[in-house]
Amino acid sequence: MPQRLDVNDPLFPHAFQALLGMKRETTDEVNDAVRAILDDVRLRGDAAVIDYTTRFDHMTIGADGLTIGADEVDAAVASCPRHLIDSLEVAADRIRAYHARLVPQDMDYTDDTGVRLGARWRPVAAAGIYVPGSQAAYPSSVLMNAVPARVAGVKRIAMVVPTPGGVLNPLVLAAARICGVDEIYRIGGAQAIAALAYGTETVAPVDKIVGPGNAYVAAAKRQVFGTVGIDMIAGPSEILVVADAHNDPRWIAADLMSQAEHDSAAQSILITDDAAYADRVAAAVDELLSRLPRGAIARQSWSENGAIIVTDDLMQTAPLIDSIAPEHLELAVTDPDALAARVSNAGAIFLGRYTPEAIGDYVAGPNHVLPTARSARYSSGLSVLDFMKRSSLIACDENSLRVIGGHAISLAEAEGLGAHALSVAIRLDVSGD
């Protein structure tokens, strides 16, 4: 059974802090293993990548087998049911439309001192996309990573996806095809991150690596940060559902389990204002767990990491929500907008009783790569902004430099930076030069 917390329990603050502090990942020994893999790939290139792929993915490949070619993608696409290709295309179109609205505007203006100022956004030249394999080889993740990169204008997209035992979901390749991603490598883990960051004989290095992965991938991304950019350190998935007693408990149970079924380390939390309703949801979860294909995973997640919090007034829960800073926040209440307006920290907010979180995982349009582990306090879901960077522009002429330059000279001298001061003064003929 999940934890049960009541805000009126004198011990609630303690229990809530313990819930916030729950560690659902262990990365200590992982870091050392990852460091060795990164160093080895940097040193030995393809040979190291092949060794680790043999060891971890239980498959024998040569350097010419690292690449997944167009023929293989053709065959995969041909093997996919037409209705699923259609659904992927609808999803890609909707993700494209949403992300196109997030493309930042350049600016270029001259202010009242005559100084011309601007900001100019450009795409990164090359992006690497990590697509998890095995239990999480999701075609939807390909779309969520590759479409924003395309919308941003990234010219080169290199995708890596491990194929343990040589097995790969053909829909993953179909999704890549739909996004126009044609540079694909059958590698994963820290060795794939290393190949993207440092380059090998086969894989040219990229400028930025995005995409979720397991603890090894997360550790590898953290370690190569600086050599390349990364999006975020993704942890296990989370959902916080705020639901009043007017919801069908089976709907809410399905929503809670839709995160729990991802991973036994996932976390599903319900906040409700009705203890009897909490019981009905818990019962509906139990009933559902016996029928789910991934019921064992979901059951473990729910019993180990799940929580039900009973409170007095759902409209007063914003501080709790902000402390949890959930990846997914579902507001199944009568006035979801009023509650949403009070909330600051959430990766994505699902408003109302007819907006299950899963709709955002596939076809709503916004990204499903979202900040986990309370990082919604300071970070955002993946978007075109992750594939672009901004240069500021400054242009003075002699007149405008004269208007503002004196302040620069004063401050530079106060900071003891003589060349800074001189570089302005010499242009204005106000120095001793």
Q: Fill in the per-residue mask, 347 to 376: x = in contact with a second copy (CB under 8 A), - = not in contact.
A: xxxxxxxxxxxxxxxxxxxxx--xx-x-xx
Locate 266 and state its tokens: 């996932």
* Shortest distance, position 230 Cβ to a second copy, whole Å: 9
In this chain, which of 22, 43, 70, 411 binds a second copy, going by CB under 8 A? 411
The number of C-alpha atoms within 13 Å of 178 and in the hemisphere containing its C-beta is 32
Maximum CA extent, the chain: 85
- Is residue 346 involved in binding a second copy (CB under 8 A)? yes
Radius of gyration of the chain (CA): 25
Locate 16 and state its tokens: 């809530």
Q: Which residues contact 194 (CB under 8 A, 6 or more apart)?
A: 37, 38, 40, 41, 42, 48, 49, 220, 224
- With CA atoms as reference, report the closest residue to 217 among 278, 106, 325, 133: 133
Rounded to 10 degrees, the C-alpha dihedral 303/304/310/313 comes to -120
Q: Give the relative orientation of helices 275-289 and 249-260 as an angle to the nearest 10 degrees.
A: 60
66 vs 159, beta carbon nearer a second copy: 159
Q: 109, 116 in Cβ contact below 8 A?
A: yes
In this chain, which of 140, 191, 267, 311 binds a second copy, going by CB under 8 A? 140
61 vs 100, beta carbon nearer a second copy: 100
- Is residue 298 involved in binding a second copy (CB under 8 A)? yes
Q: 229, 238 in Cβ contact below 8 A?
A: no
Measured distance CA(260)–CA(267) in Å, rounded: 6
- Is residue 302 involved in binding a second copy (CB under 8 A)? no
Number of H helices, E strands in the chain: 17, 15
- Is residue 327 involved in binding a second copy (CB under 8 A)? no
Stretch that binds a second copy, among 40-48, 57-65, 160-168, 380-388 (CB under 8 A): 380-388
Q: 204, 158 in Cβ contact below 8 A?
A: yes
Of 183, 238, 261, 327, the catalytic one is: 327
Please check if 237 is assigned to a binding site: yes
* Shortest distance, position 203 Cβ to a second copy, whole Å: 17
In this chain, which of 7, 88, 131, 161 binds a second copy, going by CB under 8 A? 88
Output the DSSP codes for 240-303: EEEE-TTS-HHHHHHHHHHHHTT-TT-EEEEEES-HHHHHHHHHHHHHHHTT-TTHHHHHHHHH
52 vs 387, beta carbon nearer a second copy: 387
- Is residue 418 involved in binding a second copy (CB under 8 A)? yes
Q: Fill in the per-residue mask, 229 to 268: x = in contact with a second copy (CB under 8 A), - = not in contact.
A: x---x--------------x-xx--xx-xx-xxx------
Does residue 58 have an active-site annotation?
Answer: no
Of 99, 238, 328, 357, the catalytic one is: 328
Please check if 130 is assigned to a binding site: yes
Q: Which amino acid is at 292?
A: L
Place of tokens 């149970």: 253
Which residues inside 57-76 make contact with a second copy, applying CB under 8 A?
A: none
Please check if 335 is assigned to a binding site: no
- Is residue 397 involved in binding a second copy (CB under 8 A)? yes
Q: How many chain residues are in contact with a second copy, going by CB under 8 A? A: 128
74 vs 111, beta carbon nearer a second copy: 111
Locate 1 and state its tokens: 């059974």
Place of tokens 């601007």: 118
Angle at 363 between CA 357 and CA 365, to 5 degrees: 90
Q: 325, 21 in Cβ contact below 8 A?
A: no
Q: Which amino acid is at 269?
A: I
- Is residue 24 involved in binding a second copy (CB under 8 A)? no
Q: 242, 271 in Cβ contact below 8 A?
A: yes
In this chain, which of 50, 91, 178, 271 binds a second copy, going by CB under 8 A? 91
* Shortest distance, position 33 Cβ to a second copy, whole Å: 17
59 vs 318, beta carbon nearer a second copy: 318
In this chain, which of 61, 63, 117, 245 binds a second copy, going by CB under 8 A? 117
Stretch that binds a second copy, among 114-122, 180-188, 193-201, 269-277 (CB under 8 A): 114-122
Please check if 367 is assigned to a binding site: no
SS3 335: coil
Does residue 25 have an active-site annotation?
Answer: no
53 vs 177, beta carbon nearer a second copy: 177
Binding residues: 130, 191, 214, 237, 259, 262, 328, 361, 415, 420
Residues with a known catalytic role: 327-328
